[in-house]
Amino acid sequence: MTATQTPAVPPPIQPLYVRITHAINAVAVIVMIGSGWQIYNASPLFGFAFPPSLTLGGWLAGGLLWHFAAMWLFVANGLVYLALGLATARFRRKLLPIRPAEVVADVYAAISGRLSHADLSHYNAPQKLLYLGVLITGMIIVVSGLAIWKPVQFHALAALLGGYEGARLVHFFAMTTIVLFLAIHVVMALLVPRSLRAIILGR
Amino acid sequence: MRQRHRRAAVDSDLLLKDAANRLPDPARRLFLRNTVSLGALALLTGCDVTDGASAEKVLRKISEFNDWVQARLFNPNQLAPTYPDSAVTRPFRFNAYYEESEAPDVDEDRYRLIVDGRVANKAAWTLDQLSALPQETQITRLVCVEGWSAIGKWTGVPLRAFLERIGADLTSKYVHFVCAEGYSSSIDMPTALHPQTQMTLKFDGQTLPTKFGFPLRIRIPTKLGFKNPKHVIALTVLNNYTGGYWEDQGYNWFSGL
């Protein structure tokens, strides 16, 4: 920003569409994970079940109803976010390029407590990597979910993911990735409370 | 949207007992009760969306919308993948809302398949008569609503051929099935006419064992397992929605794969 052309109101760090889609996505993802864990518990893929108190729906049918309702919210909202992110070139500006050397340097700086968060409109390299990564994981979880829901109608898609059972595994690990992202994301937001303010109020 | 007519329960005591076995809390009427873990959600939305009856009503509406979407996604010519004999899951998994020892014993000699509704010929069928019809074998994947799946080998009469033979009105909307112990389910006509939808009499080359639905199971590889009723004793072709045992408790009605 130059001194000669300072706008009366500087553009928000997080534009309105990002704040709205982020809020809707937060609700949709929490419902999808809670109901997804309920569904998982009906026939666990691995030797553990999720604590029932962390699941949504009360029993399998309730979990399924929530899951197949919230999926519309998650997908529709995600499509709006992707369309606007691409149309405004925000993804390219904010998330690219990601240079491995910068990721290493920034992670090292973060560990040694020297990573600056002064400019919230600029993402550091690990941040870019995580955001791009979770965007791609979001797409993988939708595609694998589609293959599980319709393994006959979309059998080619299911075959691409290793068949019905393969798609279940892909869906599970995509969920795991998103949950890990969420854990880091929430901790980071709490460590830099100004970022929390920006995603709700814009600045 | 379509009208939903609830059928009177076949044996309400039995059904209640079975439901109690499956539901986590037999006393509850609503299945959506999990407000504690969703405190964060309530906080975000400013209202408690998980609050009982109203949430259930909305979710059921969305489930009906999902029935509509699935009916449109359903391609009547899209076959379910088939597998080689070596891929068959042996031993095959038993699964029902009752214990294996409680599977109904149907008397082979007294068995009759009752045919009713929008059909020209309502004569009941004996097992010998059904067995005399041309049979087909399929090796397909059964996908349970719980998530697990297994590959089985089913032999029987294509439902489409049977419906044509009894002069069913194929423009009707639904086919409803009733089972010996009181279970029921209903399906859309396009699925009933799908080439792989089968009136199964044999499993893995043997007469259908009791645990897998003797004497007659409806095998539908384009639908979840709970829409593959066992021990079927009656088939009705009709135009009004009749739901089913699990569908009435909240499982999505179409449940197509």
CB of B221 within 8 A of CB of B164?
no
Confidence of residue A120 (pLDDT cuts 50, 70, 90): confident
- State whether B31 and A57 contact (CB < 8 Å): yes
Distance CA B13, CA B34 (A): 28
Confidence of residue A116 (pLDDT cuts 50, 70, 90): confident
Share of residues in chain A with pLDDT > 90 (%): 74
- For B36, other C-beta atoms within 10 Å of its C-beta total 9
Using CA coordinates, name the residue in chain B closest to A200.
B44
pLDDT per residue over B85-144, tens digit each? Answer: 999 999 999 999 999 999 999 999 999 999 999 999 999 999 999 999 999 999 999 999
- Give the ipTM of the model, two decimals please: 0.90
What are the residue boundaries of the structural domains of chain B, listed by start?
80-249
What is the arithmetic mean of pLDDT over A95-121?
88
Confidence of residue A166 (pLDDT cuts 50, 70, 90): very high
pLDDT at A171 over 90: yes
- B contacts of A163 (beta carbons < 8 Å): 81
- B contacts of A164 (beta carbons < 8 Å): 141, 143, 149
What is the arithmetic mean of pLDDT over A151-156?
97
Rounded to two decimals, what is the model's pTM? 0.86
- CATH number (3.40.50.300, 3.30.110.30, 3.90.420.10, 3.30.365.10) of B80-249 reads 3.90.420.10
CB of B87 within 8 A of CB of B78?
no
- A contacts of B58 (beta carbons < 8 Å): 69
B124: left (phi over 0), alpha (psi -120 to 50) or beta: beta
Tokens standing for residue A92: 């390219």
Nearest to A60 among B40, B41, B145 (CB): B145
Cα angle B218, B221, B224; round to 5:
85
Residue A121: per-residue pLDDT: 83
Query: B120 CB near a chain A CB, below 8 Å?
Result: no
> Residue B233: which H helix or E strand, with range?
strand B232-238
Query: B75 CB near a chain A CB, below 8 Å?
Result: yes
- A contacts of B224 (beta carbons < 8 Å): none
Residue A7: per-residue pLDDT: 60
- For B200, other C-beta atoms within 10 Å of its C-beta total 27
CB of A17 within 8 A of CB of A84?
yes
Using CA coordinates, name the residue in chain A closest to B22.
A59
Among B239, B119, B235, B115, smallest CA distance to B172 is for B239
Give the best residue of A21, A38, A59 to mutate against chain B (max B CB count within 10 A).
A59
Tokens standing for residue A117: 């968060």
Query: B243 CB near a chain A CB, below 8 Å?
Result: no
Is the bond preceding residue A126 a cis peptide, omega within 30 degrees?
A: no
Residue B24: per-residue pLDDT: 42
Burial of A151 (0-12, 13-18, 19+ CB in 10 A): buried
Report CA-CA distances (Å) from B216 to A99, B124, B202, B219. Answer: 63, 14, 8, 9
Tokens standing for residue A107: 């992670």
- State whether B251 and A64 contact (CB < 8 Å): yes
pLDDT at A122 over 90: no
CB of A33 within 8 A of CB of A179?
yes
- B contacts of A22 (beta carbons < 8 Å): none
Distance CA A107, CA A115 (A): 8
Among B216, B235, B238, B239, smallest CA distance to B115 is for B235
pLDDT in tens, chain B (257 residues): 344 444 433 444 444 444 444 444 433 344 454 443 454 455 444 445 555 688 889 999 999 999 999 999 999 999 999 999 999 999 999 999 999 999 999 999 999 999 999 999 999 999 999 999 999 999 999 999 999 999 999 999 999 999 999 999 999 999 999 999 999 999 999 999 999 999 999 999 999 999 999 999 999 999 999 999 999 999 999 999 999 999 999 999 999 99
pLDDT at A170 over 70: yes
Residue A6: per-residue pLDDT: 59
Burial of A196 (0-12, 13-18, 19+ CB in 10 A): middle
Instruction: Find the helix packing angle between A16-42 and A163-191, rounded to 10°.
Output: 130
Buried b (16+ CB within 10 A) or exposed e, B70-87: beeebeeebebbebeeee
